[in-house]
Amino acid sequence: MASLRFFLCFFLFCGSSLNLVCGNGLPKNHVALFVFGDSLFDPGNNNYINTIAQANFPPYGETFFKYPTGRFSDGRLIPDFIAKHANLPLIPPYLQPGNHQFTYGVNFASAGAGALAETAQGFVIDLKTQLSYFKKVEKLLREKLGDAESKAFFSKAVYLFNFGANDYVSFLTTNSSIFQSFSKEEYVGMVIGNLTDTIKEIYRKGGKKFGFLNLGQLGCAPGLRVLVPGNTGSCFEEITELAKLHNAALSEALQELEIKQVDFKYAKHDINISFSERSNNPKKYGFKEADIACCGSGPYRGIDSCGGRRVVTEYELCSDPTEYLFFDSSHPTDEANRQIAELMWSGAPNLTGPYNLKALFKA
């Protein structure tokens, strides 16, 4: 009888497009990781859509994977390190063909994406679409696991978010009337509003544990420094100002959710502080260069030409990415991502709070 039960389970579940755990269901204390965001979190979803926002060519991926995966780095991204800390496999991109083990979670992030549908519209998977993909996964798992087990599964899972940077870069660099019709405060309110609505949707599906990055000094990335007239080395202060407004509004929104939503728990990492510390004192953290990218062209290697597959085809490449904070014009190196993920996982409350991700995975 037991062997027949095993055979039926294997046939119905493991033989399907979902690679689910069979036998006695999910392991005890199993915690999945679902990822939403932009290029800081995208493991390769943009490989499968029609867009120029791709990193599926050398030298991306060179130091860890030894081949380009679609990640905007020389190696791993923050969610890859979080998965490692949580004893999970690499969380795959949702659009990657093949047997997804959704029971470990899945990554919906898309390079260039924003919380607003108008941000890089038609070339990215925006937040609303990422949420729609999650709902499909939730429905599939609920059908396979049953209501009781799927409810426990989604309440134990951790949901990791990173949005806003592309919305604010678009606000200041695009001539669209959409972006010119609002004050900075109104625009930030729209970004935070969409993010909050998405969190509430996932909460209604059973999600209770969430992780967030706030925004760093966006204007100090090589790709935005290069936009400042005169190449003085100054940061693009208007974008940094929007990031500050975003961070204040995000903190307020999360505190309100914590009060109003029963059992809502979150970890918010202050990358504005952690990245600024590394920019201001790179040697303390093992870096030799914090202002110039490893890969790119022009001042600070801030022209987005890494790999030679975009508008500008000529580029320079450093010999050792581990010595650099930025790999290309706006994305951290594998080593920088490792350090930030470590702080998200087990950082003190002054950097990651009110919980850190380690506490959320154990909660």
Paired strand residues for 295: 317
Return d(Cα 256, Cα 193) in angstroms, integer.
12
Residue 39 annotated to the active site: yes
Which is the catalytic residue, given 39, 150, 170, 330? Answer: 39
Residue among 305, 328, 329, 334 flagged as catalytic: 328
Query: With contact defined as beta carbons under 8 Å apart, do 195 and 161 qualify?
Result: yes
Catalytic: 100? no
Q: Which two tokens stand for residue 6?
A: 């095993």
Q: Which residues touch 194 (CB under 8 Å, ≥6 apart)?
A: 115, 116, 127, 128
Catalytic one among 100, 246, 269, 331?
331
Q: Residue 361: count other Cβ atoms within 10 Å of its Cβ.
A: 23
Is 331 annotated as catalytic? Answer: yes
CB 325 within 8 A of CB 334: no
Do the Cβ atoms of 75 and 38 come closer than 8 Å? no
Pair type for strands 352-354 and 265-269: antiparallel
| Cis peptide bond prior to 321, omega within 30° of 0 | no
Catalytic site residues? 39, 328, 331
